Amino acid sequence: MKRNTLALLLASGLLGAASADASDVYFVNNAGEVRSFTGITAGATPIDGNAFGDGNLETTVAAYGAYQGFTSTPDGIVYGVNGAGGVDSWSSIASWLAGDAATVESAGGTYSAGSGLDGGLHGVSYDGNTGGIYAVVEGTSGANNNPDRDGRLRQFATLSDFINNVNFTENTVVGYGANILNFYYEDEDAPASVTPNADAEAGSNYFQITGTGLLEGWTVLEGDGFGYFGGPADPGGNGGGSNRSYQNAITFGDDVIGAFAVVTVPFIPADLDRDGDVDDADFGLAFAAFTGPDNGPSSNPAADLDNDGDVDDADFGLAFAAFTGPGAAAGVPEPASLALLGLGGLMIARRRRA
Ligand SMILES: [Ca+2]
Ligand SMILES: [Ca+2]
Ligand SMILES: [Ca+2]
Ligand SMILES: [Ca+2]
């Protein structure tokens, strides 16, 4: 290993590997053009202030233009929902860009449009905060689609559930019937929107493109504040978009059909700040989320590691068992002194990086 590479690894590890770097984002339009951007706000071709046509043209694969959406998981595999409602995959982003033949994960019909309850998708994405997949579903006015599900959020805990369209939970807000695509962005360096929420916190993870071609972001998928699917009392309302935390300065384009941001941090349940390790910062978040036995729900449901509705000693036990020390994502060995610091940090409720 070159010395400067080692120095870089050490530096990133000691800084806790909480990346503020940009992450590449790939968009596909209905002609199958694939264009890349170097991040939301950073790099030579950031999305902020730009439109689809300003991105770097990677390739054109005409067949991709007929897909309903694409996403990618931390292992680099690309998943696409095709026009016939089946789920396809490619072993790497490079293979996807090369237009290689896809592996069939599920047959056509799984997400076929016009089939009522199991109609097509507006957008689909991997979720780095849960390790699952979420989608905004289409609907029809048919008897099989009562109540109207058009624009609802559907969440799948596992990849297998997504591929087969089973065991999902569905948010009852019908807010995004014109949604075109969705993607999870792990780096959280998107700024707050200028309007209408100039006071919104920075750190958007969840992006969509509206039917009119606007790129918008929210800090959380569901919940109070700047949640993509929020509650009636949230700023701006119930998921109609006015509680967003980010909006691109110009119209991005209404001919895009899918997009994903490259995700590099593997999902670890106890890694509550999603920076790839389980260290004192994560214990601080768990401590701040404490409810006591059977006293949920917690202010931070992600800290309920045993999924029984509360955050208590049992959950702390699971977090301790998963301890890696700072910078585990960069493969840096844990110095003993930092490990001790990490345990001491349990009593310090650190504020989550937004
Ligand atoms: Ca960390
Ligand atoms: Ca962490
Ligand atoms: Ca419990
Ligand atoms: Ca629990």
pLDDT tens digits along 58-108: 999 999 999 999 999 999 999 999 999 999 999 999 999 999 999 999 988
Residue 242 has a pLDDT of 63
Whether the ω angle into residue 147 lies within 30 degrees of 0, i.e. cis, is yes
Q: Which of 7-16, 221-230, 317-326 has the highest mean pLDDT?
A: 317-326
Considering the entire predicted model, what is its pTM?
Answer: 0.82
Residue 329 has a pLDDT of 56
What residue type is assigned to position 178 of the chain? A
- Going from the Cα of 42 to the center of ligand 1, the distance in angstroms, rounded, reads 23
- Going from the Cα of 281 to the center of ligand 2, the distance in angstroms, rounded, reads 6
Phi and psi torsions of 88, nearest 5°: -115, 160
Q: Alpha helices, DSSP H only, in the chain?
A: 3-14, 93-97, 159-164, 280-288, 313-321, 336-344
Between CA 99 and CA 254 the distance in angstroms is 23
Between CA 263 and CA 76 the distance in angstroms is 8
Residue 324, token pair as written in the block: 């890696």
- Taking only the tens place, the pLDDT of each residue in 164-202 is 999 999 887 777 888 999 999 998 766 655 455 554 566
Residue 108 has a pLDDT of 84
pLDDT at 238 over 50: no
Better-scored residue on pLDDT, 120 or 347: 120
Identify which ligand lies nearest to the alpha carbon of 316.
Answer: 4
- Going from the Cα of 64 to the center of ligand 3, the distance in angstroms, rounded, reads 46
- Going from the Cα of 327 to the center of ligand 2, the distance in angstroms, rounded, reads 8
pLDDT at 237 over 50: no
CA distances from 345 to 98, 286, 317 (A): 47, 11, 15
- Going from the Cα of 39 to the center of ligand 1, the distance in angstroms, rounded, reads 22
Phi and psi torsions of 288, nearest 5°: -65, -20
- Going from the Cα of 307 to the center of ligand 4, the distance in angstroms, rounded, reads 5
pLDDT band at 262; cut points 50, 70, 90: very high
- Going from the Cα of 325 to the center of ligand 2, the distance in angstroms, rounded, reads 9
The answer to whether 342 and 280 are in contact (CB under 8 A) is yes
Residue 284, token pair as written in the block: 């601080």
Better-scored residue on pLDDT, 318 or 14: 318
Identify which ligand lies nearest to the alpha carbon of 311.
Answer: 4
Q: Which of 241, 271, 288, 205 is closest to 23 using CA atoms?
A: 205
Provide CB contacts within 8 A for 2, sequence distance 6+: none
- Going from the Cα of 302 to the center of ligand 3, the distance in angstroms, rounded, reads 13
Identify which ligand lies nearest to the alpha carbon of 294.
Answer: 3
Residue 324 has a pLDDT of 95
- Going from the Cα of 132 to the center of ligand 4, the distance in angstroms, rounded, reads 19
Better-scored residue on pLDDT, 124 or 243: 124
Residue 134, token pair as written in the block: 């979420």
